[in-house]
Amino acid sequence: MRTMAAPPIPRSTVARLPVYLRALLDEAVAENVLVSSGRLASLTGLSATTVRKDLAVLGSPGIRGVGYDVRALVDQISQTLGLHRGSSIVIVGAGHIGQALAGYGGFAERGFRVAALFDADPAKVGLEIGTLVVQPIEDLPAVVAVSGPTIAIVAVPTPVAQDVVDRLVAAGVTSILSFQPTELSVPGRVMLRNVDLAVELQILACMQSQRS
């Protein structure tokens, strides 16, 4: 018997899970034990039907006439997102963006541990940023091997970004988030997600001119 094929979760649903998680954590902080699809909908700006469909694919246990158990949902979504493994992340580049990320509290809250901060500039190596010490980029393979981080954030100047990505891939990193205005290339097995701020702005500008 082969491994049970987990039902594939639609991409659109995956993209919304973190949004639900955020809302659910707020509910948990407010000590609400139960939450209805309608309430989750208004908290997230989605429709109640969409919420129910999404939670259904998680195999989540809702109670008719009552709602969903907040704790159970948080656990289920965390599990589905793979956060139970406590993924650790490494940040490459100790410039403004890298430092901002290193000091960002939101990661820990949501199951990510920042394992290391690297920079190629010897002048930056040794600097203390929050609880981290900037390490030389040459240490990358060793850190990845030891703490097994699978996600890296690339926050370096564009000209060296591809080189950094290549090093990350060589070191065994399998997921990369970057902020470049250019496309980066990675082998097929590596997940790459790029957030281009100018693109975000352009989308805003367009929506505005369309009055949509």
Partner DNA sequence: GGTTGTGAACAAATTCACAGCG
Partner DNA sequence: CGCTGTGAATTTGTTCACAACC
Q: Which amino acid is at 109?
A: E
CA separation for the pair 121, 95 (Å, rounded): 10
Question: What's the min distance (Å) between Cβ of 24 and DNA?
Answer: 12
Question: What's the min distance (Å) between Cβ of 71 and DNA?
Answer: 15
Which of 9/146 has CB closer to a copy of itself? 9
Kindly identify the residues of this chain, within the stretch 42-61, that bind DNA according to CB under 7 A: 46-50, 52-53, 55-56, 60-61
CA separation for the pair 58, 13 (Å, rounded): 10
Binding part of the chain for a copy of itself, among 67-75, 138-146, 159-167, 197-205 by CB under 8 A, reads 197-205
Of these, 28, 39, 44, 52, which contacts a copy of itself (CB under 8 A)?
A: 44
Binding part of the chain for a copy of itself, among 10-18, 29-37, 62-70, 118-126 by CB under 8 A, reads 10-18
**Two structure tokens written together for 33:** 């034990």
Closest by alpha carbon to 51, among 60, 64, 38? 38
Q: Which amino acid is at 111?
A: G
On the 0-12 / 13-18 / 19+ scale of CB atoms within 10 A, 199 is: exposed
From the list DNA, a copy of itself, none, which binds 195 (C-beta under 5 to 8 Å, kind-based)?
a copy of itself
CA separation for the pair 17, 158 (Å, rounded): 31
Question: What's the min distance (Å) between Cβ of 75 and DNA?
Answer: 16
Of these, 39, 53, 110, 127, which contacts a copy of itself (CB under 8 A)?
A: 110
Give the distance from CA 96 to its chain's centroid. Answer: 20
Question: What's the min distance (Å) between Cβ of 121 and DNA?
Answer: 40
Which of 37/87 has CB closer to a copy of itself? 87
Of these, 33, 63, 170, 207, which contacts a copy of itself (CB under 8 A)?
A: 207
- Beta strand pairing call for 67-69 and 62-63: antiparallel
Residue carrying structure tokens 């981080």: 149
The count of residues interacting with a copy of itself (CB under 8 A) is 65
CA separation for the pair 106, 25 (Å, rounded): 12
Question: What's the min distance (Å) between Cβ of 72 and a copy of itself?
Answer: 18
CA separation for the pair 19, 5 (Å, rounded): 26
List residues binding DNA (CB under 7 A). Answer: 10-13, 36-38, 46-50, 52-53, 55-56, 60-68
